[in-house]
């Protein structure tokens, strides 16, 4: 499915009147009416199908040409956004979902270190995938200690 910014979405892009996460905003810019949902997810912005569905519900994205053909007359149907495959570990959470859950924890932990953790915080903010964050987790654990890092470990592994 191909999505495009609505008129309201164009306004949000200019004035940020609807709060979008940094990942949503990066992906939002990629919806140009030419790229499919799969292309945007594969672009490496860390966006999930749930994020895209949320932007459609907010009215900032819509299918090209308006309503999908299968929508009943007078009813707007939400686009069928593919769900990411579940992780093989059996937890039911995809790597993208684990990343989405762990990222705010990692930024909070490194942000709490103040100036001492500034570079580490920048490294966390530079991550774009679950694998990047897993690779950085040992540094975060060493900086904040295993007790504080337990929440991050849980978000990454459970």
- CA dihedral angle for residue 142, residue 110, residue 126, residue 19, rounded to 10 degrees: 150
Q: Is the pLDDT of residue 45 over 70?
A: yes
Residue 140 near residue 106, CB atoms below 8 Å: yes
Rounded mean pLDDT of the chain?
Answer: 79
Q: Give residue 17's pLDDT band: very low, low, confident or very high (50, 70, 90).
A: confident
Interacting residues of 39 by C-beta distance below 8 A, sequence separation 6+: 30
Sheet strand arrangement including 2-5? 32-36, 2-5, 61-63
pTM tops 0.85? no
In the predicted structure, residue 142 carries a pLDDT above the cut 60: yes
What 8-state DSSP symbol labels residue 134? H
- Where do we find the tokens 């995809």? 94
Locate the domains of the chain by residue range: 2-63, 95-157
Q: Pull the structure tokens for residue 120.
A: 């580490």
d(CA 75, CA 110) in angstroms, rounded, equals 46
Digit-coded pLDDT (tens) for 90-125: 557 788 888 888 888 988 888 888 887 889 888 888
């Amino acid at each position: 499915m191909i999505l495009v910014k609505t008129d309201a979405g164009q306004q949000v892009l200019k004035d940020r009147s609807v709060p979008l996460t940094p990942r949503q905003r990066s992906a939002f810019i990629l919806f140009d009416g030419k790229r499919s949902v799969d292309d945007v997810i594969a672009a490496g912005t860390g966006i999930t199908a749930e994020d895209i569905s949320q932007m459609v519900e907010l009215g900032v994205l819509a299918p090209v040409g308006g309503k999908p053909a299968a929508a009943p007359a007078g009813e707007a149907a939400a686009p069928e956004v593919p769900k990411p495959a579940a992780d093989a570990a059996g937890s039911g959470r995809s790597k993208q979902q684990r990343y989405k859950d762990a990222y705010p924890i990692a930024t909070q932990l490194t942000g709490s270190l103040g100036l001492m953790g500034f570079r580490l915080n920048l490294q966390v903010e530079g991550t774009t995938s679950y694998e990047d964050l897993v690779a950085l987790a040992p540094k975060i654990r060493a900086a904040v200690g295993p007790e504080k890092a337990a929440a991050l470990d849980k978000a990454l592994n459970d």
